Structure 1
């Protein structure tokens, strides 16, 4: 193959992608079969199969068991607004993680005690194996799952206090800052790191997405005088959201 020339499967995938983006192959249209791709482009079965795999990995098409491969509907990306916490009584971080506050958002949660793994322990400045409270959330907008979040809090800090369970008790759902203030812990800053990775199978199932489709992972940690008091992973489908930061200039 001459230097700079694309492999055949990428050339086929590029032409099919062009047809999808232009609307020539609209959402829910059936992608040409492997045999038809082979005839249309004069390529082997292997090349046709690899081209389809590329489009599936990009989230442009999806396979339906016993039916074929179809063009996926491409949702209009929403803004996921991230702003600084402005004080007690403000919206909770969980409400902030709804893409649009005018939308009727809801969530399910489940908390359980566990031993901190190496990654979570490092983020919370703990020794591996120390007890933490893990809470898993599924956030919904208009009844549809839109994002996932898993948070961890050190039981050395919250154990035997009214805020042991983030979604139960007198401050249920009030957010990290207000809950910590109730036990005389003053949260003074938060750090967020944003990265991308392929979505895990269980994440895709929860979000109604395609396994392996890219997701945004927002790794968030709250601090009080340099001490980490909560850390969380927020998982967002990359094709549905654009993260928008609104930060004050001091």
Structure 2
């Protein structure tokens, strides 16, 4: 990697970013106009415009129709607990957090039978096209959407059993470990892979984000003696949450 002179638009964006971060330009303050940026930094209109685009792509400012560009309120990231299995009836991290009396969490879900695409089939050790139960979730904190999740379970395992629908039946909502135990399947391992990418339009719409925002993607898979029994994608807005892991040392 070579270090040369920084492009003018990045230099301007960097200085404005510093002012936003240190509070010199507090939330809801109007960003200097294009003409003001041009005069203050001695740059062209094109450079001033590109600098503003950088700040908008980073989610630091937002445009308001007919009014200008303003500094966005910067949320203080909250911890999203990720921990090992707890045999207390609160098997999922979200439900563990909701045990806190100060939390006000709710969730919605929708389950439907589907065919496993190539990627999901590989994660579950199935053939492409095999039948799975697909369940989509929206998790909310105080009414605000804070996480999306989609899970897939092989119907060759759960089909025509009392736990076929994850959120219905005698063990509805109890989590993968308890539900699989009802089938004499002992879940003994779970893996999570964490990545980040720009949020898709429908994801950001559901999560209250803006185009360009980054989301964390946690790919989780539960195993029983090496056999995948459930896999899921958890989608979390990266500017509002941090995945916090507590892992036991054996």
Is this contact kept in 2: 1:83–1:246, CA < 8 A? yes
Partners of 2:231 and 2:66 in 1: CA distance: 43
Deviation, structure 1 residue 7: 0.1
Residue 246 of structure 1 corresponds to: 246
1:156-171 alignment, distance < 5 Å: 156-171=156-171
Partners of 1:100 and 1:17 in 2: CA distance: 38
Residue 183 of structure 1 corresponds to: 183
Residue 148 of structure 1 corresponds to: 148
Deviation, structure 1 residue 145: 0.9
Deviation, structure 1 residue 84: 0.5
Deviation, structure 1 residue 115: 1.1
Is this contact kept in 2: 1:82–1:97, CA < 8 A? no
Is this contact kept in 1: 2:118–2:128, CA < 8 A? yes
1:134-166 CA distances to partner (integer Å, 9 max, x unpaired)?
111111111111111111111111111111111
Residue 95 of structure 1 corresponds to: 94
What are the ranges of 5 or more consecutive residues in structure 2 without an aligned counterpart?
Answer: none
1:65-214 alignment, distance < 5 Å: 65-87=65-87, 89-93=88-92, 95-96=94-95, 98=97, 101-102=100-101, 103-214=103-214
Partners of 2:137 and 2:76 in 1: CA distance: 24
What are the ranges of 5 or more consecutive residues in structure 1 without an aligned counterpart?
Answer: none
1:19-53 CA distances to partner (integer Å, 9 max, x unpaired)?
10111111111212323322322222221121111
Q: TM-score, normalised by structure 1?
A: 0.93
Misfit runs of 4+, over 6 Å: none
Is this contact kept in 2: 1:80–1:100, CA < 8 A? no
Is this contact kept in 2: 1:80–1:97, CA < 8 A? no
Partners of 2:107 and 2:170 in 1: CA distance: 18
Residue 221 of structure 2 corresponds to: 221
Deviation, structure 1 residue 112: 1.3
